Chain A
Amino acid sequence: MKRHNYLLDIIIVLIVVLAAFIGFFRIKNGFSYHWNWGSIPQFFFKTDGTGHISANLLVLGFLTTIKLSIWAFTAALFIGTVMGVLRTRENLFARMIGRTYIEIARNTPPLVLIFIFYFFIGNNIIAALGIDNWARGLHGSGRSIISFLFTKPERFSEFLSAVFTLAVYEGAYITEIVRGGLESIPKGQFEGANALGINFLDKYRFVILPQVFRKVLPSLTGQSISTIKDSSIVSIISIQELTFQGMQIMASTYMVFEIWITITVMYFILTFSLSTLANFVEGKLIRN
C-alpha cells in the first residue's frame, strides 16, 4: 500500500516538473519578451546621492495594501457583527435591514460598488464632513500620525472611501459568518443571559459573542485573506496600493511580466503568512 503511494507521488512530481520545463521553454523561446529583472530591486528601495536608503514605490504600495486591509477588515468586522445580530433578531424590521444589506452588497460586482461609492456617496458624504480640508490643514505630529496610520493627508479622503467601500463589501460576507455562528449557539445561552437580567448589549458582549467568535474564527481569517486580495480592486480609483503602484511602474518602464510576477509574490507572502498564523491560532484554540 505504502509503495503504491510513493509511486504515485513520484509520477505526479515528474509531471509537474515536466510541465514547468515546457512552460519555461515556451516563455524562453515562443514568447518575444526582453526580460529585465535587474531593474526590479530599485523599485523596492532607492538610494539618494548620500547613500541614504528609503522605501520606493513597491514597498510603499505594499504598506498601503496592509494598512488598507487592516482598516477595511476592522470596519467590516464591526458592520458584520451588527448586521449579523440584526439578521438573527425576532424583530422583522431588524431582519429586513440585515437582509437588504447583504443582498445588495453580495449581489453587486465589487468593481461597480467601488465606482458608486467613490464617485457618488464618498464624494457627497466626505465632502460634507469636510474631512479633506481637515486633513490638509494638519501640521507636525498630526500629519505624521495620519501618514503612519493611514496614508498621506492629501490622499486621506480617497483612502477613507476605499476603506469604506471594501468594508461594506466584505462586511456582507462577515454578516453571514456571524449569523451562522449565532445560530449555532444553543437557545439556552440566550435564555440564561436573559434570566440573569443583564441588558441587551451586555448579553451579546459577555455571553453570546465570545462564543460566536471562537466558533467562526477560521472563517473570519479566510475572509481577512479575501480582504487583502480584494483590496487590489481599489487600484481603479487610483488608491496608491500595491497593484496601482505596479501598474504605474509598468506604464513607465513597459516591464509588464517582471512587475506582475513580483507583485504576485508580494501578495502571496502576505496572505500565506496570514494563513499560517491562522492555522497556528486555530490549533491552539482546539487544544484549549
Chain B
Amino acid sequence: MKKIILFLMIIVSVFFVLSCGNNTKKQAGSSESLLDTISRRGVIKVGLSTFVPWAMNDKNGNLIGFEVDVAKRLASDMGVDIELIPTKWSGIIPALLTGKFDVIIGGMGIRPDRNLKVNFSIPYEYSGLSIAANKEKASGFSTLEDFNKKDIIIATRIGSTGASVAEKLLPLATLKLFDDESQVIQELLSGRAHALIASAPMPAYQVIKNSEKLFMPFEGTFTKEPIGFALKKGDYDLVNYFNNWITVVDAEGWLAERNHYWFETREWENLVQ
C-alpha cells in the first residue's frame, strides 16, 4: 500500500515538474511568432467583451458590432477562420496573458498603465467618455466640475477608462463600480447614482431612451481615447502585422465607414431586440 502511494506521488511530481518546465520553455523561447501559430492553426482567437455597439448579441445569438466587423475583416485578410471568445471585462487581460486567445479586439483604450502589462497596436478607432445624469438628483448640473462634490455618486464600469478618468477628474465624488454596463444604467435609472460615465455613444443613447429620467449635463465627450488591439508582450511580428493592417484599412476608408454605421446610425437596432 505504502509503496503504491509513494510510486503514485513520484509519478505526479515528475509530471508536474515536466509540465512546468514545458511551459517556461515555451515562454522563454518565443522565437516562433504568434503570427505563424495562427496561420498554422488556421484560426485566430479574438477576445472581446459585450459592449453596445462595439460587440453584442443579436436576436439569433450571433455576435455583431463594430469590433466584430473589424475582427472578421482581419481574419479574412489573414486567410484564417475566426473564433470570437466573449469574456468578462474584469478578466479579459488575465485571459489574454494566459493564452485563452491571441488578441483583444474589444474597444480597449490604449493606456500607459495597461501598456505595462500588454502591447498595443496603433489606434484603429478613437473613443471618448461622456456623461449622463439623473434628472431628479443632478438637476441644474451643466459642467464636469458640478459633479466633483463630496456627496455625488458616479456609476461606472470596473476597470474601464471611465473609472480611472473619474478618479482623476472627480476626486471628491464617490465611485460605484460594476461589472456590466446594464448594472451601471440600472443604478442611474433607479436614482442610486447621480450620473454615469461611459464611452460614447452609450450615455447619449440612454438619454434618448429614458428621456423622462435622464439628461446630458453637456453635449459631446470630455476625453479622447485611442483604441487599439491588445496582445501579449514580446511578439513584434504580430504587432507589426496589426499596425500595417490598420493603416491599410484606414487608408481605404473602411474603418470610417464601419464607424459611421455602428456609432452614428441606429440602423442595427432592430437586429438586437
Contact = CB atoms under 8 A, between A and B. Distances in A.
Interface in A209-246: 235-238, 240
A154 B81 CA distance: 12
Contacts of B95: 119, 238
Nearest to A132: B99
B213 to A, nearest CB: 5
Given A31-B190, A248-B57, A250-B180, A39 B273 contact: yes
A21 interface: no
Which secondary structure dominates where chain B touches chain A? mixed
Q: Which range holds the interface residue count of chain B? A: 35 or more
A12 interface: no
A108 interface: no
A32 B190 contact: yes
Contacts of B190: 31-32
A125 B56 contact: no
B61 A119 contact: no
A106 interface: no
A256 B206 CA distance: 14
Interface residues of A, number: 40
A236 B95 CA distance: 11
Contacts of A240: 86
B60 interface: yes
B13 interface: no
A100 to B, nearest CB: 13
Given A124-B19, A236-B91, A237-B91, A56 B61 contact: yes
Contacts of B18: 128
Interface string B210-232: 10010000000000000000000
A34 B57 CA distance: 20
Contact of A42 (B59, B86, B181, B210): B59
B182 A154 contact: no
Contact of B41 (A136, A235, A248): A136
A238 B88 contact: yes
Closest 4 A-B residue pairs measured CB to CB? A128-B19, A252-B56, A251-B50, A57-B61
